[in-house]
Amino acid sequence: MKGRTCPLSGRCGGCDFIGMRYEDELLEKYLEEERYLSSFCRVSPILPSPRITGYRCKVQAACGTSDGRLVTGIYRRGSHRLIPVRSCPLEDPRAQEAIGTVRMAANRFRLSAYDEDRGTGDLRHILVRCSSHYDEGLVALIASSLDLRCADDIAALLHQRHSWVRSVSVIANAGKTSLVIPPGAEERVVYGRGFIMDRLNGLDFRISASSFYQVNPVQAGRLYTIAMNMASLRGSDHVIDAYCGTGTIALMAAASGAGHVLGIEANADAISDAEANARLNGIGNAEFVTADASKHMRKLAREGRRCSVLFLDPPRSGASEEFLAAAGRMEPERIVYISCNPETLGRDLRYIRRFLPYRTVGIQPVDLFPGSAHIETAVLLHRCS
């Protein structure tokens, strides 16, 4: 495949491989995987993404000021300098169209960009999420106050221009934070239900502005299929999905033949989404708990609880030693570790090899983020008899 091009690639810093042939990008990523993981077992060839442009279904645009007008874009990597962006080759084109409408409306209604240092202004970010399966999307206006001026007019304009926009909301964020949506942020739904639907591997998922949901859903579905195949689920299996988010893996495991699934997640809003998604799909053999994964695993281990299959999909920092030790005490027959960071994954696999009776039997890299250096990896570990 030919290399993708972007006139902003030298300024924004958001893409590592945007000017490279996709075959060469995949080779670079595979070599990175081998560097950290080849000592554990053979690393399988990387699974390419079927789409290398326009795949990002979640887009966050920061707001700033240029020549007295509100502009939108992305902060240059490692800085707070806004680079105005009107199109990005990696983002769903619908998202940029909606952002353009909000930007035009904001200038028409004389809304100002929020200044974090001064604590003044109206609009801070624009977040757009698009369904990969259904023709619908949502727009969240991240503002200094829930009482954003002209929010109703902006929602009406969005609905008029983009029939696929099914929900518009205002989310308050006036804090000194780099987070677009801080935990517990208040939200006011201006139009629609406050969420949209997407379908992944035969299941429907409710997605709100703050939901965790993979930005490349089609490729994420392939990653989760690999994870389910690795787990070889049976009706007698008691499954734990740690760091379960909105329940994508847990619910797929429950629907794939597992006897019972427990999902653990620290974010209460994500757990609410997971429980709603279980009801939506008629799944009764999954339950969810709001808790820190490491602490809850240690609690379960102290109680003598066991599981036969453990899924974990931790943040980029990886799993803690306390989590891994507790997991070992619960004696799962199979562990499926999904990681977005081969370096911390390699660290955790070294800990497991040294202290726990497990061997690595499969490593499958999956490219979820074409153009970016990030890569997902599914690893299967078996308990030694």
Percent of the chain with pLDDT over 90: 82
| Domain 58-200 class in CATH | mainly beta
User: Does the pTM exceed 0.75?
Assistant: yes
Residue 97, pLDDT score: 96
Q: Give the Cα separation of 191 and 52 in Å (integer).
A: 32
**Is residue 366 helix, strand or coil?**
strand
- pLDDT tens digits, residue range 232-254? 999 999 999 999 988 999 999 99
pLDDT of 385 above 90: no
Which residues have C-beta within 8 Å of that of residue 268, sequence separation ≥ 6?
290
- Give residue limits of the domains in the chain: 11-51+216-383, 58-200
Integer-rounded Cα radius of gyration of the chain: 22
Q: Give the Cα separation of 154 and 102 in Å (integer).
A: 7
**Active-site residue numbers?**
340
- pLDDT tens digits, residue range 85-127? 888 889 999 999 999 999 999 999 999 999 888 889 999 999 9
Residue 85, pLDDT score: 85
The token pair at 198 is 């997407």
| Domain 11-51+216-383 class in CATH | alpha beta
**331 and 297 Cβ atoms separated by less than 8 Å:** no
- pLDDT tens digits, residue range 140-165? 999 999 999 999 999 999 999 999 99
**167 and 139 Cβ atoms separated by less than 8 Å:** yes
pLDDT of 9 above 80: no
Beta bridge partners of 59: 128
Q: Give the Cα separation of 230 and 245 in Å (integer).
A: 20
Residue 1, pLDDT score: 47
**210 and 180 Cβ atoms separated by less than 8 Å:** no
**Is residue 228 helix, strand or coil?**
helix
If pLDDT is split at 50, 70 and 90, which confidence band does 10 have?
Answer: low
Compute the mean pLDDT over every residue in the chain, rounded to the nearest whole number: 93
Count of beta carbons in the 10 Å neighbourhood of residue 367: 23
Residue 271, pLDDT score: 92
Q: Give the Cα separation of 278 and 318 in Å (integer).
A: 27
pLDDT of 2 above 60: no
**CA angle, corner 72, sides to 178 and 7, nearest 5?**
105
